[in-house]
């Protein structure tokens, strides 16, 4: 038996997952690490913690699996995207903490760029709508604010990397300085059409090209694991950002396939094949992966509040005692009794983009009870997801054939069924829910011939349950119309 190990370096924990050649998860281990909040709105990680927790997770998972490291054919890496690290090429020492994707310290700089009219140019080149999430303004911040950093960067003494790059540089004996196309496409410095670092954007953001990693395919050997770690050299041969890895792990290999991760927020990615679809509805265009020299793209959209609305029911409203309980409570009533809940706690994302929207409940009557509100909240997760999916359809004109679901809230069968009903599309939950890790494993395994082809990978992926739409077209249209009326009432509430 041959094995692949996926390293899944996330925002709050570093995990390692051992996968066998049949695609089964043999063992997994996760290690949490510290979140650093130096000021309101700022988020950092200590790069040493990222690296050490990841190495511990790798060793522990291999030990739990009880396998001989010589039977590991390859290692795949997937990572929290956009988090930015700059370190010294000679000593390996980071010049400051990692600036985490969530960090808002560069929001002002982004506002300035937008006010100068840079949005359209940036979107044309990178597929992204300028935001402090992406690496560009974070790199610029480090070069401006860390004493000596700019001069050292210009002298070629510093290296930049997203988390995949930083890990691989530290884990490979040859100190490979690489990133894959999916991670590069989240820097706001990479031209997703020419598939090159964009010189004009580098100039705009005052970033010297010398610090940038080489951009490689998502599947292919980039270096060998330092034998000091597991006693043997193992090829590192797959890389993808977490959301793109989940799309690959869900085997969304055909144009029009969508995956949604129902976590705290909801993340939707639609495979658009070899076409980079430009969005007119506030979605992002991103590189899904490049395998065998062939680039495929995705449209990406997110729902700000998904599982977080269920947490709100539990922690603030005390209507349920656990997230899982929401399912039976919702099913205890036939419908919401006309109640609609819009969880616009932090404003509304795609396709509304209204940061002044706030949470709203409409349609209350004397007969409204706890179960109606719980049910309306779960339905709201599905409605918001449907809105993003509709935006994807409008942008791409691609007929959506199926949606594959994962993440914590995908365990909720009521939510999954309602999602299928309101989309009029099958919603499928996979047997293996570790989709992010599976994506990295699949990319690495394809590089080493553990799996011959994508078709073979697709045959390894299995559905655990498929939810078939059951609403009539009338019913679907009527519920969506009421939802949209509710959204209008939530919009532009805050000053």
Q: Which of 102, 121, 264, 368 binds ligand ADP (CB under 6 A)?
A: 264
Whole-number Å distance between alpha carbons of 368 and 364: 6
Closer CB to ligand ADP, 237 or 258, in the complex: 258
Task: State in angstroms the smallest separation of the CB of 32 from ligand ADP.
Answer: 12
Whole-number Å distance between alpha carbons of 129 and 114: 10
Q: Which of 140, 182, 326, 396 binds ligand ADP (CB under 6 A)?
A: 326
SS3 state at 88: strand
Which range of residues in 30-38, 174-182, 302-310, 416-424 is near ligand ADP by CB under 6 A? 302-310
Closer CB to ligand ADP, 109 or 327, in the complex: 327
- Using Cβ positions, the residue closest to ligand ADP within the complex turns out to be 408
The answer for residues whose C-beta is within 8 angstroms of residue 406's C-beta and 6 or more apart is 246, 250, 259, 260, 261, 262, 429, 430, 433, 435
Whole-number Å distance between alpha carbons of 252 and 70: 31
Kindly tell me the burial class for residue 331, based on how many C-beta atoms sit within 10 Å of its own C-beta (0-12, 13-18, 19 or more): middle
Whole-number Å distance between alpha carbons of 239 and 248: 11
Residue 382 interacts with ligand ADP (CB under 6 A): yes or no: no
The answer for residues whose C-beta is within 8 angstroms of residue 484's C-beta and 6 or more apart is none
Closer CB to ligand ADP, 207 or 420, in the complex: 420
Which range of residues in 122-130, 139-147, 303-311, 331-339 is near ligand ADP by CB under 6 A? 303-311
Closer CB to ligand ADP, 179 or 377, in the complex: 377
Closer CB to ligand ADP, 36 or 413, in the complex: 413
Kindly tell me the burial class for residue 210, based on how many C-beta atoms sit within 10 Å of its own C-beta (0-12, 13-18, 19 or more): middle
Closer CB to ligand ADP, 201 or 437, in the complex: 437
Whole-number Å distance between alpha carbons of 145 and 18: 41
How many residues interact with ligand ADP (rule CB under 6 A)? 15
Q: Which x/- pattern over 409-428 shows residues binding ligand ADP (rule: CB under 6 A)?
A: x-xx----------------
SS3 state at 198: coil
Residue 13 interacts with ligand ADP (CB under 6 A): yes or no: no
Q: Which x/- pattern over 305-324 shows residues binding ligand ADP (rule: CB under 6 A)?
A: --xx-xx-----------xx
Closer CB to ligand ADP, 13 or 52, in the complex: 13
Residue 359 interacts with ligand ADP (CB under 6 A): yes or no: no
Residue 288 interacts with ligand ADP (CB under 6 A): yes or no: no
SS3 state at 210: helix
Q: Are strands 98-99 and 44-45 parallel, antiparallel or unpaired?
A: antiparallel
Terminal CA-CA length for the chain:
61
Task: State in angstroms the smallest separation of the CB of 312 from ligand ADP.
Answer: 9
- Which residue's structure tokens are 């031209």? 191
Closer CB to ligand ADP, 169 or 267, in the complex: 267
- Interface with ligand ADP by CB under 6 A: which residues? 263-264, 307-308, 310-311, 323-324, 326-327, 407-409, 411-412
């Amino acid at each position: 038996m041959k094995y692949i190990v996926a390293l899944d370096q996330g925002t709050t924990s570093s995990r390692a997952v051992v996968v066998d050649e049949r695609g089964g998860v043999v063992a997994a281990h996760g290690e949490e690490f510290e979140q650093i909040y130096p000021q309101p709105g700022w988020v950092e990680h200590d790069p040493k913690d990222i690296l050490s927790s990841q190495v511990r997770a790798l060793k522990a998972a291999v030990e739990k699996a009880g396998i001989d490291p010589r039977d590991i054919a390859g290692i795949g890496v997937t990572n929290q995207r956009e988090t930015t690290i700059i370190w010294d090429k000679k000593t390996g020492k980071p010049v400051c903490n990692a600036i985490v994707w969530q960090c808002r310290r560069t929001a002002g700089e982004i506002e300035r760029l937008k006010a100068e009219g840079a949005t359209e140019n940036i979107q044309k080149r990178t597929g992204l709508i300028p935001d402090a999430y992406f690496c560009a303004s974070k790199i610029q911040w480090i070069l401006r604010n860390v004493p000596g950093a700019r001069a050292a960067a210009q002298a070629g003494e510093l290296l930049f990397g997203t988390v995949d790059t930083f890990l691989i540089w530290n884990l490979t004996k040859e100190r490979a300085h690489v990133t894959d196309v999916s991670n590069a496409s989240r820097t706001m410095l990479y031209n997703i059409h020419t598939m090159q670092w964009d010189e004009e954007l580098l100039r705009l953001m005052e970033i010297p090209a010398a610090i940038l990693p080489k951009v490689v395919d998502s599947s292919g050997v980039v270096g060998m694991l330092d034998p000091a770690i597991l006693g043997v050299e193992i090829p590192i041969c797959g890389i993808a950002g977490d959301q793109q890895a989940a799309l690959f792990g869900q085997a969304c290999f055909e144009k029009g396939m969508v995956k949604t991760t129902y976590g705290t927020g909801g993340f939707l990615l639609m495979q658009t094949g070899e076409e980079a679809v430009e969005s007119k509805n506030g979605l992002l265009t991103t590189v899904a992966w490049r395998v065998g020299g062939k680039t495929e793209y995705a449209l990406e959209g997110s729902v700000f509040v998904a599982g977080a609305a269920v947490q709100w029911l539990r922690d603030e409203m005390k209507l349920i005692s656990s997230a899982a309980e929401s399912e039976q409570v919702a099913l205890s009533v036939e419908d919401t009794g006309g109640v609609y809940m819009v969880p616009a706690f932090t404003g509304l994302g795609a396709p509304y983009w209204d940061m002044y929207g706030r949470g709203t409940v409409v349609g209350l009557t004397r007969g409204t009870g706890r179960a109606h509100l719980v049910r309306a909240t779960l339905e709201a997760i599905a409605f918001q997801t449907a809105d993003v999916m509709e935006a994807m359809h409008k942008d791409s004109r691609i007929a959506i054939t199926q949606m594959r679901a994962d993440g914590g809230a995908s365990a909720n069968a009521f939510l999954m069924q309602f999602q299928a009903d309101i989309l009029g599309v099958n919603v499928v939950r996979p047997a293996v829910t570790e989709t992010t890790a599976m994506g990295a494993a699949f990319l690495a395994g394809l590089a080493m011939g553990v799996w011959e082809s994508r078709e073979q990978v697709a045959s390894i992926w299995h559905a655990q349950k498929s939810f078939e739409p059951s609403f009539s077209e009338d019913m679907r249209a009527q519920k969506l119309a009421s939802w949209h009326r509710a959204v209008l009432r939530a919009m532009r509430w805050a000053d």
